[in-house]
Structure 1
């Protein structure tokens, strides 16, 4: 039996246009769009599948080229900018160090002088103990010292911190584009060291308190001098002058050693012999003397001038209890 073959669906119907095997009109349009950088999806619609194969590679080429150009520009820009930023930061860092060094050279001597004054104030406070008539000036000085010490501590701490910061070496790697240097600049610039006014203020508080204590000591000294044992050396001579009982007599010409003398009953019993006592002499040998104590007890009958103590500014001689066998020789050192 003969079989009739059915016509194929792919067979060309009479009058139908033949299908071209070349590129479609859409593909040509897409190629034009690619040159204009228009996404193919805008042509095909949002549901159109992305083309694969060589066409996709062709469409990516302009974007890759642009990325390469931008990347190259960025690398070149960084290669130029990084060294410039480093050099600029280094110059600014050097300037900051010089500025800090100048401020340090200005304030450090002032701080040292103020610390010296503060030390003097503490010494004055200690030495004035027991040498003022009124403790109020010393109390005010003590309070001023505490406050000055506190304020000086703040100044000295900032100076010490600035010195430590100046010794720190920042990270100068060129790859950091000066970042480490800029951190160093910020640290160095944070130390103002504008303490001249503060130090002057401390001085203006401390000096009046010191002057007040110095004045109080002077008043105490004057009062002690007023109350101090005073002896008048009214003449130089020998027995006639001693027997006149008018005061001490300079007998240096007789003894060969600077000596004043007085009978026990004429005032010898009252003359201080305790070491450290300050006395005032008027007339001959006038001045303030410190008693050094009795340095020899001589017997008039056996002693000679060779037995007299030597090495002192002045000797005071009297016969203890009026007895010539116990002639006391008290040494005196001139103070003023």
Structure 2
């Protein structure tokens, strides 16, 4: 057996694929993959198993539910067609916007060559979608965000001020801030029930915490800002929630989601048109991070995200220290 055909342990396969070992176990439970077993019964993954897992991870990146993935693997392509159509629409909208901006820049350069200075107002364009004075621990700097995405992930290390920023964003947007004390209503709306059904079908664990998150996301008419969205949710639920968020495209009810979970936010699978805001530890102003390795802030972003297991250990340490994650 060559090096490329070497068998991988669950932890090695998970690291290669950028998922957790528990995710591999979930995929096994759903029948997507059957790992090899050695004489002692330990799981291993060879080239065929890794190839199948790459398919599953790619389908998850497109926002397919586990039920839809099962259908695709069994030859039913309706779910995949819908996901690809949605992905295509998002890319086309993104390309159209970029093409329009490029043509405008060409016109401005042509004007300059002919001795005409472009109108400064045109260069600036419309006003920012968000404009606010940053709260403490910042020093009152102005913060502006040109465009508001359907989903904006808010990430930062402990003590970076991201909770206060989240509250300020909710106020600036005329939206609602949902803290960690969020409660599930006795009866969910029709939209919330549909979202909950999708999540449960995708492997999420039913809980009051999940019902509270679903109600917060679906039942607000304006922008919704959520404190650590993964709070109180197990790993399979966080994975399902991450996949559900990647499908969210409602520009009329944008979401700002604070998270430090790599199960909720996978930088390699951020949907086109979604955004990431990073709060630096040194309290310099927050800034948008592109989900591309090597771009400014990307490594800091990745260092703030952890698996649910790692996040649970961190939360336990913080509780023992007598403080609250922010």
Where on the TM-score scale, by shorter chain, does this alignment land: which range? under 0.3
Decide which structure has the larger Cα Rg and report it. Answer: 1
TM-score, structure 1 normalization: 0.20
Greater relative contact order (Cα 8 A, min sep 6): structure 1 or 2?
Answer: 2
